[in-house]
C-alpha cells in the first residue's frame, strides 16, 4: 500500500521538477532577450546622441576652420592653423561614430 503512494508521490515530484526546470529555462530566455533589447536601445541612444552632438560640433569646427584660415592668411603665419588638426580628428571620430561603422568594428 505504501509503495503505491510513494510511486504517485515520486511521479508528482518528477513532474513538478520538470515544470520548474522548464519555467526557469523560459525565464532565462526572456531575460536574455530583454538584455539584448536594452543593449540595442542603449546603442541606438548613443548613436542618436552622437549625431546630435555632431551637428553642433560640425558648426563649431566649420567656423573655427574659416576663422583660423582667415587668421593665418591675415597674419601670414601657417602656425595659426595648428588647432585644426586635433579638431579634425575629433570631428572624424564623431562622424564615424554617428554615421560610419565604428560601433560594428568595436563589436567585432
Q: How confident is the model at residue 4 (pLDDT cuts 50, 70, 90)?
A: low
Total domain count for the chain?
Answer: 1
Report the percent of the chain where pLDDT is more than 70.
94
Domain assignment of residue 33, given as a range? 1-107
Q: Cα 75 to chain center, whole Å?
A: 45
Q: Render the chain in DSSP notation, one character per residue.
A: -HHHHHHHHHHHHHHHHHHHHHHHHHHHHHHHHHHHHHHHHHHHHHHHHHHHHHHHHHHHHHHHHHHHHHHHHHHT-GGGGTTHHHHHHHHHHHHHHHHSSHHHHHH-
Q: What local confidence, expressed as pLDDT, does residue 25 receive?
A: 95
Mean pLDDT of 23-32: 95
Amino acid at each position: 500500500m505504501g509503495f503505491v503512494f510513494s510511486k504517485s508521490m515520486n511521479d508528482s515530484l518528477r513532474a513538478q521538477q520538470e515544470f520548474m526546470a522548464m519555467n526557469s529555462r523560459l525565464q532565462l530566455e526572456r531575460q536574455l532577450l530583454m538584455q539584448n533589447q536594452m543593449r540595442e536601445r542603449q546603442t541606438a541612444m548613443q548613436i542618436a546622441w552622437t549625431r546630435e552632438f555632431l551637428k553642433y560640433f560640425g558648426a563649431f569646427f566649420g567656423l573655427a576652420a574659416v576663422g583660423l584660415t582667415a587668421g593665418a592668411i591675415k597674419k601670414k603665419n601657417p602656425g595659426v592653423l595648428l588647432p585644426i588638426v586635433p579638431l579634425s580628428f575629433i570631428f572624424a571620430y564623431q562622424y564615424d561614430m554617428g554615421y560610419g561603422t565604428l560601433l560594428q568594428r568595436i563589436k567585432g
